[in-house]
Structure 1
Amino acid sequence: IAVADIPKSNMAFQKILFDFPEAISAFAYGSAVFTQESNSDMKNNMLDVVFIVDNALRWHKSNLQMNRSHYSMFARSIGPSFIASLQENLGAKMYYNTLVPWNGQMIKYGVITQTRLKEDLLHWQSLYSSGRLQKPVKFLCSISDQIQSCLDTNLKHALNASLLCLPEKFSVEDLFMQITRLSYDGDFRMIIGENKNKVSNIVKPNIELFRKLYYSHLINDKFIHIDKDIIIQDLNPETRFARLRQLPCNVKSRIVNWQMSWLSFQTFNNPLNEMQDAILYSLAHNQIKTQESVQKATRSIVRYSSITQSSKGILTTGISKSLIYSGKKLAKMLRGIFR
């Protein structure tokens, strides 16, 4: 089942498309769209939306004309060219406006170009937009076959990486928890600013949506056996090697470079495929080291993108909105702790 089918869009969310410049596509996510544990009052939660656009400069030019008040004073003063440059060259290649009043509620919306989105889905350059799209989202309009293919590849990546981090036998819920954890482990906001139970809060109420999202990939994986809600996977080194080879290139290259760190010749930063395969094949014979290497690689990607994207957010959102937004996040974290 395609990402775009989970669940079907409705008119309440589709209305947002008419209040912004034309986009290739858009999707909504978060606690205003999907039920989360201990957070059932969805109508009072901030709505999170991402617009996928063809050209960042053109889109921000139009949006400054339509919705100038959404941007911080700093952003309005630097103009659309610099806004587009900030989006394309810093952090996770996204630009966010937050705490924007819309249709009786607050929204936060991000903007990413189709090119940058595809790069992250296929290669996990930042694991930011790709991490979001490893979980159920609500697409607000149709998507192209090309984007759908990239979305499916991203789900396969998430499944492979998660299986390499799991034991021989585990539950379906364990799998979805591990998949969701991929884009949160390493995020500095999980230390302070996010609910410590965020992963389980996302997964537990939405197990069936996760099933629909990953079902076709699970049944087509010849290395796992599913018995009701229990999954048994083949832990043969050859299987691990096959999964390692299928990881996104940004994860794979980090693992290989770390394994090669004792070497000092020129191919260190760009190993030949044969050398890469030899290193991954050797690693695959040690289950614990394989798990540690995959986790280390994904965490390092998430850590960098979360820090740089948040730093960019302070610059583009403005100090006052950043403080208000951070305060709301901190309050949610504290409520989760005291529960």
Structure 2
Amino acid sequence: MSRQRPLTRIAWCRRPLLYSNRRYATQQSPQTTASTAHQSLPPGWEDEALSLSDFSQLPHKDFGKNQLMETNEEFKRSLRKILRQLPPITYAFAYGSGVFPQSDATTSRVTHSPHPDAPEAILKWQKGGGKMIDFMLATRFSQHFHSLNLREHRDHYSFLGSLGSGVVSHVQDAYGAGAYFNPYITINGTMIKYAVVNLDTLHRDLTDWDTLYLAGRLHKPVKILFEEPNIRVANQRNLLSAVRCALLLLPPQFTEKQLYSTIAGLSYQGDPRMTYGSEHPKKIDNIVTHQIKNFRYLYHDLITSLPNISYVDGHATSKAAWMDDPKLDLKLSQDMDVERRSNMVRRLPKSFREKVYFLYQRKFAIPGREFQEMLEASKDEDEKGGLKKPVGGKFDRRIAAENDLPDMVTKAIDQTVKWPSTVQSVKGVLTAGPARAWRYLQEKREKGRMKG
């Protein structure tokens, strides 16, 4: 069965999608965003079922600007030129070590670049051009995208391409996390890997955490290249959910790096690539250490918007350019009051929250009928299709009072991530083809053997 389902909360624009209709990610300096804390998070925005057709309908003109990471203009332009060689897409971002460093510049230089003839802007940004660039592309109609792409770029596909766009889109949507990867593709002299995902699938994972495969990538700094207003709102919910989930895992006091490492590690929990040594053993630590500035730009406003978390060193955040200081590792504290934590449990994304509920149903031995009634009472939608204000109920408070809550949340993460990630990895043999899949695995295994 296909994973595609119609969006229930979004009325999409019905005009034909052309390149001229794409909305570029509006670039604003993160420093400017940070100085306008709270302006991008108007009160009550989470409790509204927004249905947007244009960016002018966002809750605030600066809403979600924290998601727009800063790079130089030439690098950004080079990435967009690559995507223009592919069929039209609605939303896209570049991610991974080819976009934001995960190691020191002195150790990231390589003697051989994977790019046969990359633009100078990419080589300069990568300080030698040693990294393949990863893209995630979201389209409203996957089969149409693949049909056009197969016509122009048949060599991007494995043997599955010979079976037609219907089979390709079915494999994309029906198995794993709903993404279809084409690795080791050269466009404009640049080696890239790109994944195609249906816009509905992306939106659902951002809001519900069905798999955390897509939402987890956006928990970390990425370079958004083409935007869609409903996805910006959904991703803001996703980022705030990541903070809440991390808080449920953390002690009363912790540091910035502990918080961001917990957030960055959510989608790796249960991922077979981490379990079987197919990733760098210090991947999460490297991501946070070398991108601490971008993590602050991404999450600072969200942190200050929550009533139960605060900076212990609050005066430090009032200093000019504090976000740019990589040596800082500010302390934070959270209120462990049961009422506040029950509200966080209740505000977890729907699919993920239900997994936590099921774990406690078994622990408390709650009868099935009684439990189903509790699930019905805790639905996110009201009778008119709008969102109900999520406030922790009796069951949430009971959960929040349990000492094993961090362990249960960890189990729910593992249940969410493990199966889709495993199937997605196996699917890669089909979508990439045996030769490219083996090459990709060998490179990942090499990273897994690294120590620094």
* Same fold flag (TM > 0.5): yes
| Conservation of the 8 A alpha-carbon contact between 1:134 and 1:154 | yes
Which residue of 2 is the match for residue 170 of structure 1?
Answer: 254
- Count residues with an aligned counterpart: 334
Q: Distance in 2 between matches of 1:97 and 1:17?
A: 13
Which residue of 1 is the match for residue 287 of structure 2?
Answer: 202
Gaps of 5+ in 2: 1-32, 34-64, 110-125, 317-329, 380-391
Q: Distance in 2 between matches of 1:256 and 1:18?
A: 45
SS class of match (1:154): helix
Structure 1 residue ranges (4+ consecutive) displaced by more than 6 angstroms after TM superposition: none
Which residue of 2 is the match for residue 237 of structure 1?
Answer: 338
Which residue of 2 is the match for residue 285 of structure 1?
Answer: 401
Q: Distance in 1 between matches of 2:438 and 2:372?
A: 40
Q: Distance in 1 between matches of 2:136 and 2:376?
A: 37
Change (3 A) 1:251 1:49: same
| Conservation of the 8 A alpha-carbon contact between 2:219 and 2:264 | yes
Change (3 A) 1:277 1:257: farther
Q: Distance in 2 between matches of 1:274 and 1:31?
A: 40
TM-score between both structures, scaled by the size of structure 2: 0.71
| Conservation of the 8 A alpha-carbon contact between 1:170 and 1:231 | yes
Instruction: Give CA-to-partner distance per residue, 1:47-84, whole Å, 9 cap, x none.
Output: 100111110000000000111100012x1222100111
| 1:70 counterpart = 2:156 | yes
Return the match for 1:321 from 423, 436, 445.
436
| Conservation of the 8 A alpha-carbon contact between 1:68 and 1:76 | yes
One-letter amino acid matched to 2:180: Y
What is the CA distance between 1:212 and its match in structure 2?
0.5
Q: Distance in 2 between matches of 1:223 and 1:14?
A: 40
| Aligned CA-pair RMSD | 1.7
Which residue of 1 is the match for residue 4 of structure 2?
Answer: none
| 1:158 counterpart = 2:242 | yes
Which residue of 2 is the match for residue 17 of structure 1?
Answer: 83
Change (3 A) 1:60 1:236: same
Which residue of 1 is the match for residue 267 of structure 2?
Answer: 183
| 1:26 counterpart = 2:92 | yes
| 1:48 counterpart = 2:134 | yes
Return the match for 2:167 from 76, 82, 85.
82
Which residue of 1 is the match for residue 46 of structure 2?
Answer: none
Return the match for 1:123 from 208, 213, 216.
208
One-letter amino acid matched to 1:219: T
Which residue of 1 is the match for residue 121 of structure 2?
Answer: none
The higher radius of gyration belongs to: 2
SS class of match (1:44): coil
Q: Distance in 2 between matches of 1:232 and 1:114?
A: 37
One-letter amino acid matched to 1:234: D
SS class of match (2:100): coil
One-letter amino acid matched to 1:285: A
One-letter amino acid matched to 2:424: Q
Gaps of 5+ in 1: none
| Conservation of the 8 A alpha-carbon contact between 2:181 and 2:194 | yes
| Conservation of the 8 A alpha-carbon contact between 2:308 and 2:334 | yes
What is the CA distance between 1:266 and its match in structure 2?
3.8
| Conservation of the 8 A alpha-carbon contact between 1:3 and 1:136 | no
| Conservation of the 8 A alpha-carbon contact between 2:67 and 2:298 | no
Change (3 A) 1:81 1:18: same
One-letter amino acid matched to 1:117: L
Q: Distance in 2 between matches of 1:202 and 1:217?
A: 20
| Conservation of the 8 A alpha-carbon contact between 1:162 and 1:178 | yes
Q: Distance in 1 between matches of 2:66 and 2:427?
A: 29
| Conservation of the 8 A alpha-carbon contact between 1:257 and 1:269 | no
| Conservation of the 8 A alpha-carbon contact between 1:188 and 1:303 | yes
Which residue of 2 is the match for residue 6 of structure 1?
Answer: 69
Q: Distance in 2 between matches of 1:265 and 1:184?
A: 32
One-letter amino acid matched to 1:247: L
Return the match for 1:273 from 354, 377, 387.
377
Change (3 A) 1:107 1:215: same
What is the CA distance between 1:145 and its match in structure 2?
2.1
Q: Distance in 2 between matches of 1:148 and 1:328?
A: 33
TM-score between both structures, scaled by the size of structure 1: 0.94
| Conservation of the 8 A alpha-carbon contact between 2:85 and 2:187 | no
Q: Distance in 2 between matches of 1:187 and 1:223?
A: 30
Instruction: Give CA-to-partner distance per residue, 1:170-203, whole Å, 9 cap, x none.
Output: 1111100000010111111102211110101111
Q: Distance in 2 between matches of 1:145 and 1:96?
A: 25
Q: Distance in 2 between matches of 1:76 and 1:3?
A: 38
Which residue of 1 is the match for residue 197 of structure 2?
Answer: 112
Instruction: Give CA-to-partner distance per residue, 1:237-277, whole Å, 9 cap, x none.
Output: 11110110110111110111121123443455673326993
Range with greater deviation from structure 2 (174-183 or 3-12): 3-12
Q: Distance in 2 between matches of 1:92 and 1:212?
A: 28
Q: Distance in 1 between matches of 2:80 and 2:191?
A: 16
